[in-house]
């Protein structure tokens, strides 16, 4: 079925990873646009700060890896404030380093947050959406969903998986009035990116200037009003080319030494 907006009116939106970075940007723009927000994060202090800034939002502490916690949080939110219309799976982690040097614990955390967390959100909200005959799932991936990168093996693997999962779910329910959107930003100026700077790993992401969180947040909030299956931010010819080049690992390898050197130079400038 073609994806068309069901309504231009305000929605009730649940945002994961909402305390900082992209998630906080999404929450702010949702509120500005008139949507009602349930902001969830494992970071209780960050949620409190966000609530102080935006007292009209609802907040709940949630570890996205915990399916039972998802059920409790969503049931409570819908009991208190009504049905959730839009799920934005934004929570994510990036723990970079060469694939043989990243710890088993860090690899497991990355997979559980970035992929299982997304699946848990869909598993919790999708039955409600189907029962109500409406709903919208927005999963935040990355340009890493298309292009493997050195120092980011597990992160890239999870983002490739989120893309496949999102579009496969969409095909499972292609005859249902449920919207599915995959958001793929380039590097975004967030605490996650600052940690990558300190580790000096995954440096290819610094070959271009990171965008502010508001840029990708704006594209995601626009997608609530006008659903699209996949959004690239920025939507430039270069990003479309990268999506294509990612199909050819040999081409990627040829340019990777230069890309890493440019990334390191950007860190040192």
Q: How is residue 160 annotated by DSSP?
A: H
The strand order across the sheet containing 12-15 reads 58-61, 36-41, 12-15, 86-89, 135-140, 178-185, 230-233
Tokens for 145, please give them. 């969903």
* Burial 170-204, CB ≥16 within 10 A → b, else e: beebeeebbbbbbbbbbbbbbebbeebeeeebbbb
> Are 119 and 168 spatial neighbours (Cβ–Cβ below 8 Å)?
no
Tokens for 231, please give them. 């959004």
Is 165 designated active site? Answer: no
> Are 190 and 213 spatial neighbours (Cβ–Cβ below 8 Å)?
yes
Q: How far is CA 129 from CA 22, 184, 188, 230, in A?
A: 24, 24, 30, 20
> Are 128 and 84 spatial neighbours (Cβ–Cβ below 8 Å)?
yes
Active-site hit among 155, 165, 180, 206: 155
**Residue 60 bridge partners (DSSP):** 40
CA atoms within 13 A on the CB side of 111: 10
Tokens for 178, please give them. 């449920």
**Radius of gyration of the chain measured on its C-alpha atoms:** 18
Residues annotated as part of the active site: 155
């Amino acid at each position: 079925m073609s994806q068309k907006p069901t309504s231009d009116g305000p929605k009730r939106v649940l945002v994961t990873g909402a305390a900082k970075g992209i998630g906080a940007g999404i929450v702010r723009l949702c509120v500005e646009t008139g949507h009602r927000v349930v902001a969830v994060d494992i970071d209780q202090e960050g949620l409190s700060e966000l609530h102080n800034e935006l007292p009209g939002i609802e907040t709940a502490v949630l570890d996205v890896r915990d399916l039972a916690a998802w059920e409790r949080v969503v049931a409570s939110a819908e009991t208190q404030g009504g049905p959730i219309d839009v799920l934005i799976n934004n929570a994510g982690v990036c723990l970079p380093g060469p694939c043989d040097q990243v710890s088993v614990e860090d690899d497991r955390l990355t997979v559980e947050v970035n992929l299982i967390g997304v699946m848990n959100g869909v598993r919790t909200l999708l039955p409600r959406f189907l029962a109500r005959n409406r709903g919208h799932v927005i999963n935040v991936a990355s340009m890493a969903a298309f292009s493997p990168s050195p120092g980011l093996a597990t992160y890239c693997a999870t983002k490739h998986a989120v893309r496949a999962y999102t579009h496969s779910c969409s095909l499972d329910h292609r005859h249902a009035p449920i919207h599915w959107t995959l958001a793929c930003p380039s590097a975004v100026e967030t605490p996650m990116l600052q940690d990558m700077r300190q580790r000096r790993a995954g440096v290819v992401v610094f070959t271009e200037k990171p965008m502010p969180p508001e840029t990708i947040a704006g594209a995601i909030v626009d997608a609530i009003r006008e659903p699209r299956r996949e959004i690239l931010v920025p939507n430039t010819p270069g990003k479309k080319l990268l999506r294509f080049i990612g199909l050819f690992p040999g081409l990627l390898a040829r340019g990777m030494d230069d890309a890493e050197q440019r990334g390191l130079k950007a860190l040192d400038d």
